[in-house]
Amino acid sequence: MSFEFKPQHKFLVGIDSDGCAFDTMEVKHKECFIPNTINSYDLQGISKYAREAAEFVNLYSKSRGINRFPALIETLEWLAKRPEVKARGVEIKIPAGLVQWIKTETKLANPALSVAVEKTGDPDLTQALAWSKAVNETVERFVRNVPPFPFVRESLEKLTGMADMLVISATPNEALKREWEEHDIAKHVAAICGQEIGTKKETLAAAKQYAAGNALMIGDAPGDYQAAKANHTLFFPINPGAEDASWRRFFEEGIDRFLSGTFAGAYQQQLLDEFDSYLPAHPPWENK
pLDDT (tens digit per residue) in 220-231: 999 999 999 999
pLDDT (tens digit per residue) in 34-73: 999 999 999 999 999 999 999 999 999 999 989 999 999 9
CB 28 within 8 A of CB 143: yes
Q: How far is CA 274 from CA 73, 236, 259, in A?
A: 29, 11, 22
The pLDDT of residue 288: 60
pLDDT (tens digit per residue) in 123-164: 999 999 999 999 999 999 999 999 999 999 999 999 999 999
Reading across the β-sheet that carries 234-237, which strands appear in turn? 191-193, 163-168, 11-15, 215-219, 234-237
pLDDT (tens digit per residue) in 83-104: 999 999 999 999 999 999 999 9
Would the pLDDT of 3 be above 70? Answer: no
In this prediction, residue 106 has a pLDDT band, given cuts at 50, 70 and 90, of: confident
Could you write out the three-class secondary structure of the chain? CCCCCCCCCCEEEEECCECCCECCHHHHHHHHHHHHHHHHCCCHHHHHHHHHHHHHHHCCCCCCCCCHHHHHHHHHHHHHHCHHHHHCCCCCCCCHHHHHHHHHCCCCCHHHHHHHHHHHCCHHHHHHHHHHHHHHHHHHHHCCCCCECCCHHHHHHHHCCCEEEEEECCCCHHHHHHHHHHCCCHHHCCEEECCCCCCHHHHHHHHHHCCCCCEEEEECCHHHHHHHHHCCCEEEECCCCCHHHHHHHHHHHHHHHHHHCCCCCHHHHHHHHHHHCCCCCCCHHHHC
Kindly indicate whether the domain formed by 11-23+148-276 is annotated with CATH number 1.10.10.10.
no
CA dihedral for 203, 263, 9, 249, sign (positive or negative): positive
pLDDT (tens digit per residue) in 151-203: 999 999 999 999 999 999 989 899 999 999 999 999 999 999 998 898 899 99
Beta bridge partners of 166: 14, 191
In this prediction, residue 287 has a pLDDT band, given cuts at 50, 70 and 90, of: confident
Which residues lie closer than 8 Å to 65 by C-beta, 6 or more apart? Answer: 16, 18, 19, 25, 58, 170, 219, 220, 221, 222, 223, 224
In this prediction, residue 1 has a pLDDT band, given cuts at 50, 70 and 90, of: very low
Which residue from 194, 173, 174, 176 is spatially nearest to 186, judged by alpha carbons? 176
pLDDT (tens digit per residue) in 237-283: 999 999 999 999 999 999 999 999 999 999 999 999 999 999 998 99
Residue ranges of domains in the chain: 11-23+148-276, 25-142
